[in-house]
């Protein structure tokens, strides 16, 4: 991938982002009594997505815009990759920090290509390099250059405009990307797709991304870390999503996290992360129904899980069904639901509600790997709470 400055090589899995530090940063707008942002100190780690989340007017946008100096801090210090942001010249700052905002903020009289080319143009790249970069960026965000290159923003859907906004922010390959409610103005499905795409992009690019939202679910989905802000950008809690969900720092954070924190936490964990029960009685198609009936009786169990020739779970057989059965391939009832090791614990919980109890888990090739039980999910939530309470 092309880079614009020697220090920020962004190939492969290398972290191309740089650390950002805010030290005692305050912003007092002229003519206001209270500062909009007061004495904020935080470190945003290189190559991570950090979400600023908090109620309307708490100072999220002001905090973010001080990083690229769209707003000048009244006092304090900001460094980007160790360089003092306040003494960087505008070109250097543009190279270092990309910026994407709600409703994309595209120039209406510029085509898609011209919009993406703005910062490279300001930085004086030659025409050919700019042209190549524009095409590369359009590919990156999933817009076919043949179709979209010469369109104007009004000829695009909201989601497409946001993609152009992201492409424009990334065009000069900055190590830092600031995103201010970039997906705030699109419908929930498009928003989910754009979030997925951002995560995919980030898994390739490893930028340092500072992302403002007031949607806590968006914060949980996207953030490596979340800063929950109160008035004047006071940091109420700054931690990983699972730590905040498990153990909100105070009632304000808990209120913001909202109802169902434990349920949200289940979307962060996968079935492979928890212990499965392997004591269920199983039998494969070829085995005799009578042998299975005896096994169940000996073990005082009522149900057996029937597996096909490739060890994939297919049916449940009750001990009563086995007496008259001629083959395990047709006995009992088909499985209602199952989950894989990759499924989230939330998927598993949903499947348990459908099944009315434990659910079979399958491995890579669909083979039976064990059972996940409601007790395990409950114990996991409890364990996470305790772990985070201790730390
Ligand atoms: N140019 C300005 N002059 C005076 N006050 C301002 C100015 N810009 C913002 N403010 C005030 O500073 C505070 C923080 O505003 P900011 O836009 O940073 O909040 P926010 O958390 O991003 O809000 P939202 O989520 O509603 O966008 C608000 O009380 C706002 O009214």
> Averaged over 332-341, what is the pLDDT?
88
> Averaged over 272-293, what is the pLDDT?
93
> Averaged over 314-320, what is the pLDDT?
93
Hey, whose CA ends up nearest to atom 31 of ligand 1?
57
> Averaged over 114-126, what is the pLDDT?
90
pLDDT at res. 2: 38
Partner residues linked to 340 by β-bridges: 362
**ipTM for the complex?**
0.95
pLDDT at res. 93: 82
pLDDT grade, residue 9 (50/70/90)? very low
Q: Which of the listed residues 37, 55, 62 should we mutate to test ligand 1's pocket, taking the one with most ligand atoms within 8 A of CB?
A: 62
For the chain, helix, strand, coil in percent to 5 are 40, 20, 40
pLDDT at res. 179: 93
How much distance in Å is there from the Cα of 212 to the middle of ligand 1?
13
The answer, yes or no, to whether residue 308 has pLDDT greater than 80, is yes
How much distance in Å is there from the Cα of 46 to the middle of ligand 1?
27
> Averaged over 153-172, what is the pLDDT?
89
pLDDT grade, residue 299 (50/70/90)? very high
Check: CB of residue 219 under 8 Å from CB of residue 226. Answer: yes
In 3D space, the residue among 154, 163, 169 whose CA is nearest the CA of residue 110 turns out to be 154
Tell me the chain's radius of gyration from C-alpha atoms: 27
Q: Which CATH class is domain 6-259?
A: alpha beta
Kind of pairing between the strands at 313-318 and 303-307: antiparallel
Instruction: Give the other-Cβ count within 10 Å of 323's Cβ.
Output: 9
Domain ranges of the chain: 6-259, 272-380
Ligand 1 nearest-atom number relative to CA 31: 4
The answer, yes or no, to whether residue 12 has pLDDT greater than 60, is no
Hey, whose CA ends up nearest to atom 16 of ligand 1?
59
| Buried-exposed string 186-212: b where 16+ CB fall within 10 A, e elsewhere | beeebbebbbebbeebbeebbbbbbbb
User: What is the CATH T-level fold of the domain 272-380, as seen in this structure?
Assistant: CBS-domain (3.10.580)
> Mind listing the pLDDT tens digit for each residue in 38-84?
999 999 999 999 999 988 889 999 999 999 988 999 999 999 999 99
Hey, whose CA ends up nearest to atom 6 of ligand 1?
29
Pairwise CA distance, residues 289 & 319, whole Å: 9
Structure tokens at 154: 């009004």
Hey, whose CA ends up nearest to atom 7 of ligand 1?
29
Q: Which of the listed residues 25, 32, 36, 72 should we mutate to test ligand 1's pocket, taking the one with most ligand atoms within 8 A of CB?
A: 36
How much distance in Å is there from the Cα of 112 to the middle of ligand 1?
30
* Percentage of the residues of the chain whose pLDDT score is greater than 70: 94
Ligand 1 pocket list (CB less than 6 A): 29, 32, 36, 54, 56-62, 214
Check: CB of residue 123 under 8 Å from CB of residue 166. Answer: no
Mean pLDDT of all residues belonging to the chain: 87
How much distance in Å is there from the Cα of 67 to the middle of ligand 1?
15
In 3D space, the residue among 118, 92, 87, 132 whose CA is nearest the CA of residue 4 turns out to be 92
Dihedral pair phi/psi, residue 280, rounded to 5°: -70, 145
Q: Which residue has the higher pLDDT, 16 or 47?
A: 47
Residue with tokens 């057996």: 304
> Mind listing the pLDDT tens digit for each residue in 211-269?
999 888 889 889 999 999 999 999 999 999 988 988 889 888 888 887 667 677 787 78
**DSSP 8-state code for residue 340:** E
> Mind listing the pLDDT tens digit for each residue in 177-221?
999 988 877 777 778 778 888 888 888 889 999 999 988 888 988
In 3D space, the residue among 158, 92, 157 whose CA is nearest the CA of residue 119 turns out to be 92
pLDDT at res. 225: 97
Pairwise CA distance, residues 137 & 154, whole Å: 20
Pairwise CA distance, residues 319 & 35, whole Å: 72
pLDDT at res. 8: 39
pLDDT at res. 388: 66
Structure tokens at 361: 């888990």
**DSSP 8-state code for residue 86:** G
pLDDT grade, residue 104 (50/70/90)? low
How much distance in Å is there from the Cα of 148 to the middle of ligand 1?
35
Q: Which residue has the higher pLDDT, 104 or 336?
A: 336
The answer, yes or no, to whether residue 4 has pLDDT greater than 50, is no
How much distance in Å is there from the Cα of 329 to the middle of ligand 1?
66
> Averaged over 318-339, what is the pLDDT?
89
* Percentage of the residues of the chain whose pLDDT score is greater than 90: 49
How much distance in Å is there from the Cα of 76 to the middle of ligand 1?
19
> Averaged over 289-295, what is the pLDDT?
94
Pairwise CA distance, residues 323 & 66, whole Å: 75
The answer, yes or no, to whether residue 167 has pLDDT greater than 60, is yes
How much distance in Å is there from the Cα of 6 to the middle of ligand 1?
36
In 3D space, the residue among 321, 327, 286 whose CA is nearest the CA of residue 304 turns out to be 321
Dihedral pair phi/psi, residue 157, rounded to 5°: -75, 165
Kind of pairing between the strands at 359-362 and 83-84: unpaired
The answer, yes or no, to whether residue 389 has pLDDT greater than 70, is no
Q: Which of the listed residues 59, 179, 230 should we mutate to test ligand 1's pocket, taking the one with most ligand atoms within 8 A of CB?
A: 59
């Amino acid at each position: 991938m092309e880079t614009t400055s020697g220090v920020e090589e962004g190939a492969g899995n290398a972290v191309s982002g740089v650390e950002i530090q805010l030290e005692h940063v305050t912003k007092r707008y002229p003519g206001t009594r209270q500062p909009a942002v007061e004495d904020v100190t935080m470190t945003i780690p290189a190559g991570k997505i950090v979400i600023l989340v908090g109620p309307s007017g708490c100072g999220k946008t002001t905090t973010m815009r001080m990083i690229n100096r769209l707003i000048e801090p009244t006092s304090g210090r900001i460094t980007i990759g160790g360089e003092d942001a306040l003494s960087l010249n505008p070109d250097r700052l543009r190279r270092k920090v990309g910026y994407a905002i709600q409703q994309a903020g595209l120039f209406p009289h510029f085509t898609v290509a011209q919009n993406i080319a703005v910062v490279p143009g300001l930085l004086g790249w030659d025409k050919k390099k700019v042209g190549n970069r524009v095409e590369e960026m359009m590919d990156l965000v999933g817009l076919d250059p043949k179709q979209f290159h010469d369109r104007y923003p009004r000829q695009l859907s909201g989601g497409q405009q946001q993609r152009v906004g992201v492409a424009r922010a990334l065009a000069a390959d900055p190590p830092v990307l600031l995103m201010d409610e970039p997906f705030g103005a699109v419908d929930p499905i498009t928003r989910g797709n754009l979030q997925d795409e951002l995560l995919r992009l980030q898994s390739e690019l490893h930028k340092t991304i500072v992302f403002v939202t007031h949607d806590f679910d968006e914060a949980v989905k996207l953030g490596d870390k979340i800063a929950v802000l109160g008035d004047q950008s006071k940091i109420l809690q700054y931690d990983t999503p699972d730590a905040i969900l498990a153990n909100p720092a105070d009632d304000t954070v808990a209120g913001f996290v909202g109802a169902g924190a434990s349920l949200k936490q289940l979307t962060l964990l996968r079935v492979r992360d928890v212990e499965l029960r392997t004591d269920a009685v199983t039998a494969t198609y070829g085995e005799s129904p009578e042998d299975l009936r005896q096994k169940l009786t000996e073990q005082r169990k009522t149900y057996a899980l029937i597996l096909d020739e490739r060890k994939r779970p297919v049916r449940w057989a009750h001990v009563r069904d086995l007496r008259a059965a001629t083959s395990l391939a047709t006995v009992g009832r088909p499985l209602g639901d199952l989950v894989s090791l990759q499924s989230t614990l939330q998927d598993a919980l949903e499947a348990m509600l459908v099944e009315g109890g434990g659910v079979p888990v399958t491995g890579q090739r669909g083979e039976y790997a064990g059972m996940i039980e409601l007790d395990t999910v409950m114990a996991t939530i409890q364990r996470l709470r305790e772990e985070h309470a201790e730390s």
